[in-house]
Amino acid sequence: MSTQDQTMTAPAPAPAKVAKISFVEGLHMALDEAMGADENVIALGEDVGDAQGGGVFKITKGLSTKYGVNRVRATPISEQAIIGAAVGAALVGMRPVAEIMLMNFVTVAMDQIVNHAAKLRFMSGGQTHVPLVIRTTTGVGVGFGGQHSDMLEAWFAHVPGLKVVMASNPADAYGLLHSAIEDDDPVILIENILCYGIQGPAPTPGYRVPLGKAAITREGTDVSIISYGKAVLDALAVAERLAAEGVSVEVVDLRTIAPFDEATVLASVGKTGRAVIVHEAVKAYGTGAEMSSRIHEELFGQLHAPVQRVGGTYSPVPFSPALEKAWIHSQDQITAAVRRTLDWKKPR
């Protein structure tokens, strides 16, 4: 996170010498603190109770014992029921945190999410709001196959009324979940399963990441890489690799995908004159296309090269490890995209 951002938002994350936490611990801490501070915060989803194991990924472990099964409710395998109940609870003043175990299965509950949670504020003239958080996980690289690995953030980013967020480190996972729970409108928090084990500095209790605010995670002058979630780690690795060659790469971590922090993105690209957008979702029709279009609309005369996009292959995610590895973007592909922007020559 940039120094500027930490100053604007809240207590800064603890220095590196303080105990580190994992991504899972960051999410657990935020949920535990939110439930402790407000009895209206509840959690529901498949297997989230301690009797069921405290969640497949252990993010809710211990919470049903601490707060009771009425506030941490293990549900049947019915995504429609989970989101429907969560929307109803939000409408009567609660702040539900609903867990959809794998993102592909949000498709089962699209009516409740898109036609109810996202629209009730608008359709009630602002009289009704839905303070709902939907936590869900996904990710490519663990062999979960095509029905368990999709990044579907573009679907939700396209729907007015929904906020879509994704963290790249434990402190941001903690701060984003806190901010999502405190928001009065529905927020979808996407968690990459491959980030769960990541260790990072423990945040100061009460640390918040404001929704809609990106972070400059590495400053540079030659090209901007704009990304979110696990792909930020690849962007930082590429930036480090290219620094050895004298290329200065700025990395922008969006943290909120919708609405994305257009001011920070445009300021970064306005400075470097070049942009590469990287995300794990398929490249075609993705959020990168939207951001690329906005950059071209606002900065066309200042760009030194066309905006490049790096994303997944336009096909279902393969189950085969070899094909799965070929499906997802690589650091070499990001590096090549950066080189294209640096080497691009204007046609005569």
Euclidean distance between CA atoms 55 and 40, whole angstroms:
21
Average pLDDT over residues 317-339: 95
- Lowest pLDDT segment from 4-18, 25-39, 69-83, 95-109: 4-18
- Please identify which of the residues 25, 28, 99, 148 carries the catalytic annotation: 148
Catalytic site residue from 79, 99, 153, 250: 79
> Looking at residue 106, what DSSP letter applies?
G
Looking at residue 18, what is its pLDDT? Answer: 59
Cβ contact 57:137 at 8 Å: yes
Query: pLDDT tens for residues 76-132?
Result: 999 999 999 999 999 999 999 999 999 999 999 999 999 999 999 999 999 999 999
Whether 329 is a known active-site residue: answer no
For the ranges 19-23, 31-35, 143-147, which has the lowest average pLDDT?
Answer: 143-147
Q: Determine phi and psi for 3, rounding to 5 degrees.
A: -60, -40
For residue range 239-282, list pLDDT tens digits in order: 999 999 999 999 999 999 999 999 999 999 999 999 999 999 99
CB of 47 within 8 A of CB of 75? no
Prediction pTM value: 0.92
Tokens 């200065």 -> residue? 248
The answer to whether residue 79 is catalytic is yes
| Rounded distance between C-alpha atoms, residue 56 and residue 48, angstroms | 8
Burial per residue of 159-177, b for 16 or more beta-carbon CB atoms within 10 angstroms, e otherwise: bebbbbbbbbbbbbbbbbb
